Amino acid sequence: MSYAGDRIIHDADSHLMEMPDFLTAHADASVRSSLPNLGQTTTGIFDPGEHVGLKRHSPETVARLLELGDQITRGPKWHDALGAFNGEERGKALDLLGFQRQVIFSSFCGRLIFGASDDAVSYGAATAHNRAMAEFVDGDARLIGVAMVPLQDPDSALKEIDVALHLGLGAVWISADPPGGRSPGHPLHDRIWAALEEARVPFILHVGSAPLSIEEPWMNDGRPDRTTARGGAEVIGSKDLTVIHHAAQRFISTLVLDGVLEQFPSLKGGVIEIGAGWVPDMIRRLDYAADIWSRSEPHLADMSRTPGQQIREQLRFTPYPFENVEQLVNESYPELYLFSSDYPHAEGGRDPLGRFDRTTASLNAADRDRFFRTNFLDLYPRD
């Protein structure tokens, strides 16, 4: 019996764990020396440690991890997990998990690519990342690899999207910053949204689409003896959690109010691993904004659907395991939310399925099935 048992479940968020040469080994020679060395960023629990230089776990380690069976989520995390840095092993892990499909993100390339000060480095690193991601998911149709594409240069972005699609990647992870100092609804980006809509490939905002930590002055509480959970690529503290969604909410809100979802009604997007407790309030605010400002901003009155309807039809969100899915559904729409495991990151916990089972137990059968299965298929339609 697998972890999922006989249920049909799709996993909207999991990760590979990069090795230090993840980018440089797949980069063009012209940019290789300019790319960041991941070995300098993989600190603490993200350090590959004794795995550096390996392409896979030893046969003995694989055999030991396979013995975990349906307890796979209670086993080792990070680089020590089965399938952490080898795609063939990930297939074995997915057999134990029992999920029908699983989306794969990198773990700590986000800010290295989106936060690069030089476009040549940003796009060169993105190209290397996408080649490495395609290599990881190659050969297993259950794995959906996520490309990374900076949007600040629309021509370069379109070229990279085209390459990513030819590589077989199934989603495009973008930054939550205003691309090139412009709103995401700027006409210069229309070709990007049109290309994704035509390809039926969603855009994704994920942890790493914006800085995770609040600015240092907010951490200056005058109590140097206090500790914080901060540290490493995705490790945040309590203060960070309270604002982690701000950049994504601003990006989505601007996208809606500038008419992108209205103009491209088949475009789909996901907001992943940024929680979802803020989503019902965002919808209320956007509906208020479109209604109240429709006279002073006439383009809002031209919308054929309310912002809430647009979001319901075109966007999806992954709650954190500690959030109450039933409450989110009752405050908004059942079509919005997706199951995710975050495998093999520790944030997913030792039993993500059990935690989400508890907070969806009182939903009707159709809405529960939406959370674990059909909302995923809306975002990632099968051909």
In this structure, what token pair is assigned to residue 314?
A: 């075109």
Whether pLDDT at 230 is above 70: no
Helix/strand/coil for 148: strand
pTM here? 0.94
Q: What is the pLDDT of residue 111?
A: 86
Quick one: average pLDDT of 362-381?
A: 97
Task: Locate 365 and state its tokens.
Answer: 């059968």
Give how far the C-alpha of residue 309 lies from the chain's centroid of Cα atoms, to the nearest Å: 23
Q: Which two tokens stand for residue 63?
A: 């055999």
Q: Has residue 229 got a pLDDT over 70? A: no
Give residue-wise pLDDT tens across range 120-146. 999 999 999 999 999 999 989 999 999
Confidence band for 44, pLDDT divided at 50, 70 and 90: low
Give Cα 304 distance to the centre of its chain.
29
Q: Are 236 and 230 in contact (CB under 8 A)?
A: yes
How many percent of the chain have pLDDT more than 90?
80
- Residue 113 is given by DSSP the state H
In the predicted structure, residue 233 carries a pLDDT above the cut 60: no
Q: Is residue 206 over pLDDT 70? A: yes
pLDDT tens readout for residues 63-110: 999 999 999 999 999 999 999 999 999 999 999 999 999 999 999 898
* Tokens read off for 150: 């900076």
Answer whether residue 14 shows pLDDT above 80.
Answer: yes
Look at residue 40 in the predicted model and tell me its pLDDT. Answer: 62
Please report how many Cα atoms fall inside a 13 Å half-sphere around the Cα of residue 214, on the Cβ side: 15
The domain 10-220+227-379 having CATH identifier 3.20.20.140: the answer here is: yes
Lowest mean pLDDT among 49-63, 91-105, 215-229, 322-336: 215-229
Query: Which band of pLDDT confidence, cut at 50, 70 and 90, is reported for residue 224?
Result: confident
Q: Flag whether pLDDT at 219 surpasses 70.
A: no
Mean pLDDT of 205-233: 71
Per-residue model confidence (pLDDT) at position 347: 86
Share the mean pLDDT of the chain.
92
List of residues 6+ apart from 294 with CB closer than 8 A:
300, 301
Does residue 221 have a pLDDT over 90?
A: no
The 10s digit of each residue's pLDDT in 298-335 is 999 999 999 999 999 999 999 999 999 999 999 999 99
Q: How confident is the model at residue 220, as a pLDDT? A: 66
Domain extents in the chain: 10-220+227-379
Q: Which residues lie closer than 8 Å to 246 by C-beta, 6 or more apart?
A: 210
